[in-house]
Amino acid sequence: MTFTGIELRNIWMEQNAMYSSVTIDTVTYTPRDLRFENVRSVSISQMLIMDIELIASSVNLYNCHSDNHYSDTNGWPYRIDVDGTSALVAYELRYANTVSDNIFVNSISYDGTGYNDIANNLRIQTSVWGPLRVITQTGTKDIKISQRYNSGYYWYVDIATGLPYTNNVISNGGILDKKCSMLSLNNVEVYDVSNSFLIDNTDDLYYVWSIHAFLCPNNITDRKMSGDISSLHGVTLGQVFLKENQWVCSYGVKKMSCLPDNPFELFLTFRMLGGIGNVMFCDFQVLTFRNYYEASSFLNSKAFAESEPACERE
């Protein structure tokens, strides 16, 4: 039996779905650029994905572009809705701004549109949700952070008070190890002082990062837990995606630099405002590369960097 799925290639969508609703055969829908319901095999290649809805469907993106750039600059909607019975997976995704965490990004590619070059903007988050990093790699240079959070004590500070925050433990769980750090947060915002790093380069470098995180389930329905890698003054590297009862790998790359004699410090930060919640996390890394090709190659390898190169015989 021969089976052929739906395939879309190189279609430009611009200012479609402008009405608030549309009725087809007496059924009212919210207009979208793309909408799939009960469709189990869709391939989309070389398109801008801005406005898509999946219901009981499976869609793969190949060499597509998707982020909120046009939403920020032109006011076009950036709506990526995927229900619990669907999957939206991207291969060689091109992006330069913030990407929806409803897209599972298996691999990234260079964005050739020419704008922002992976968001050379200190306040834009360039994060994607992707495969867990299960490969340990040694011999990688220019490591800023390589922290498994599997033992010892880590020093957190309450941003509001400036006082140490001690409601954290080493917990069972994790990806590379069977241990991780767990924070219990109650209407508080904390940052990890023990694993901060400086942006102190005046020439542009590509900062690569990744982390595993797990949002613990509880009976709080209005969840307001969030995390990111940022400074205390709004400079941000990326968002830590959190999904309840699931280990998630957040990763990204961003071109960054500072003015001479004006470095800034970035921290891993978690906040739970207006409620109580627990988060587990591990395998946090930050590295720098001179060009995007090396940076994306490392990210697509799904590796976790352990140590600087020694180049010595045993």
**Predicted local confidence at residue 76, as pLDDT:** 77
The amino acid that residue 195 corresponds to is N
What is the DSSP pairing of strand 247-256 with strand 128-130? antiparallel
What would the two tokens of residue 6 be? 């739906």
The pairs formed by 194-197 with CB atoms below 8 angstroms and a separation of 24 or more are 194/153, 194/154, 194/155, 195/145, 195/147, 195/154, 195/267, 195/268, 195/284, 196/265, 196/266, 196/267, 197/144, 197/145, 197/265, 197/266, 197/286
Q: Which CATH number fits domain 135-305: 2.60.120.260, 3.30.70.2740, 3.60.110.10, 3.40.1830.10?
A: 2.60.120.260
The amino acid that residue 235 corresponds to is V
Name the least confident of 36-40, 101-105, 116-120, 136-140. 116-120
Between 221 and 105, name the one with better pLDDT.
105
**Predicted local confidence at residue 114, as pLDDT:** 47
The mean per-residue pLDDT over the stretch 44-73 comes to: 91
Q: What is the pTM of this model?
A: 0.91
**Average pLDDT of the chain, as a whole number:** 88
**Predicted local confidence at residue 117, as pLDDT:** 58
**Predicted local confidence at residue 104, as pLDDT:** 98
**Predicted local confidence at residue 118, as pLDDT:** 65
- Using left for φ > 0, alpha for ψ between -120 and 50, and beta otherwise, residue 174 falls in left
C-alpha distances out from residue 204 to 255, 291, 298, Å: 6, 9, 18
Between 122 and 64, name the one with better pLDDT.
64
**Predicted local confidence at residue 85, as pLDDT:** 96
Reported as a pLDDT band with limits 50, 70 and 90, residue 154 is: confident
d(Cα 148, Cα 101) in Å, to the nearest integer? 23
C-alpha distances out from residue 195 to 134, 187, 288, Å: 21, 23, 16
Reported as a pLDDT band with limits 50, 70 and 90, residue 2 is: low
d(Cα 278, Cα 258) in Å, to the nearest integer? 34
The mean per-residue pLDDT over the stretch 116-145 comes to: 83
Tell whether the model's pLDDT for residue 152 goes beyond 50.
Answer: yes
First to last CA, the chain: 57
Between 87 and 274, name the one with better pLDDT.
87
